[in-house]
């Protein structure tokens, strides 16, 4: 897999991958609609942040986005196209993301994870530091809050 910076004109493709990946966990469609804004990647977002895609046979199979603020960054997006989930794409993207962050003088990366993805992040070396509460459809939803120290 080749990892390269995303282009602003790829916004629609990345938005589709984010939606498809989120659906992988079997959430009801109205929840997906509720999260639509969070799952939408704009051209401006790509231009203004560190957004990288993983490409395999000329197809984008996953991407990540880091939003940097000083020595801290937020891993705001980490999505793998469903056909490639569990094939090592996420691991390669994650390692690349941490190298990108370190290269940008970021020492700590924060992640508010989907509960289903927490195991992945922990496997990648992230540490749980708390949780973020939200509510959807009258149901309480607790999201793990994680951090990773980069080698910067
Ligand atoms: C979470 C996600 C990014 C992981 O990427 P992936 O390509 O499926 O993961 P990989 O195949 O690279 O797995 C890397 C390692 O993490 C483990 N792992 C992967 N997903 C896991 C999970 N959900 N829970 C626990 N461990 C997991 C793998 O077993 C593997 O371990 P190994 O190195 O011992 O073999 C991907 O599954 C995805 O996009 N999921 C749907 C959307 C989502 O929730 N994204 C995160 C939003 S916060």
Q: Two tokens at 83?
A: 């056909």
Least confident of 3-7, 31-35, 133-137: 133-137
pLDDT range class, residue 7, cuts 50, 70, 90: very high
Q: Return the half-sphere exposure (C-beta side, CA atoms, 13 A cut-off) of residue 19.
A: 15
Looking from the CA of residue 25, the nearest atom of ligand 1 is: 41
Q: Angle at Cα 147 formed by Cα 142 and Cα 149, nearest 5°?
A: 175
Domain count, the chain: 1
pLDDT (tens digit, 9 = 90+) per residue, 35-76? 999 999 999 999 999 999 999 999 999 999 999 999 999 999
pLDDT (tens digit, 9 = 90+) per residue, 46-56? 999 999 999 99
How far is the centre of ligand 1, averaged over its atoms, from the C-alpha of 85 (Å)? 7
> What average pLDDT does this structure show over 128-151?
94
Percent with pLDDT over 90 in the chain:
95
Q: Two tokens at 52?
A: 């990288």
Looking from the CA of residue 85, the nearest atom of ligand 1 is: 8
In this structure, what CATH number is given to the domain that contains residue 118?
Answer: 3.40.630.30
> What average pLDDT does this structure show over 11-25?
98
Q: What is the pLDDT of residue 137?
A: 87
pLDDT (tens digit, 9 = 90+) per residue, 116-129? 999 999 999 999 99
Q: Ligand 1 in contact with 141 (CB < 6 A)?
A: no
Q: Angle at Cα 90 formed by Cα 86 and Cα 91, nearest 5°?
A: 100
Q: Ligand 1 in contact with 65 (CB < 6 A)?
A: no
User: Domain of 19?
Assistant: 2-149
Q: Above 80 in pLDDT, residue 152? A: no
- What CA–CA distances, in Å, run from 114 to 33, 62, 71, 99? 16, 16, 24, 22
SS (H, E, C) the chain: CEEEECCHHHHHHHHHHHHHHHHCCCCCHHHHHHCCCCCCCCHHHHHHCEEEEEEECCEEEEEEEEEEECCEEEEEEEEECHHHCCCCHHHHHHHHHHHHHHHCCCCEEEEECCHHHHHHHHHCCCEEEEEEEEEECCEEEEEEEEEEECCC
Alpha-carbon distance 17 to 75, whole Å? 16
Probe target for ligand 1 pocket from 117, 134, 142, 146, with the most ligand atoms within 8 Å of CB:
117
Q: What is the pLDDT of residue 123?
A: 98
Q: Ligand 1 in contact with 117 (CB < 6 A)?
A: yes
């Amino acid at each position: 897999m080749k990892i390269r910076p995303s282009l602003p004109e790829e916004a629609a493709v990345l938005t589709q991958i984010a939606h498809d990946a989120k659906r992988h966990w079997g959430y009801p469609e109205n929840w997906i609609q509720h999260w639509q804004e969070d799952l939408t990647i704009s051209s401006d977002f790509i231009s203004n942040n560190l957004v990288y895609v993983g490409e395999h046979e000329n197809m984008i199979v996953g991407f990540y986005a880091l939003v940097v603020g000083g020595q801290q960054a937020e891993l705001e997006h980490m999505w793998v196209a469903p056909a490639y989930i569990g094939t090592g794409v996420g691991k390669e993207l994650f390692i690349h993301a941490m190298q990108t962050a370190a290269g940008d003088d970021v020492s700590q990366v924060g992640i508010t994870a989907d509960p289903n993805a927490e195991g992945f992040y922990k496997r990648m070396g992230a540490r749980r530091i708390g949780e973020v509460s939200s509510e959807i459809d009258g149901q309480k939803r607790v999201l793990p809050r994680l951090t990773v120290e980069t080698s910067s």
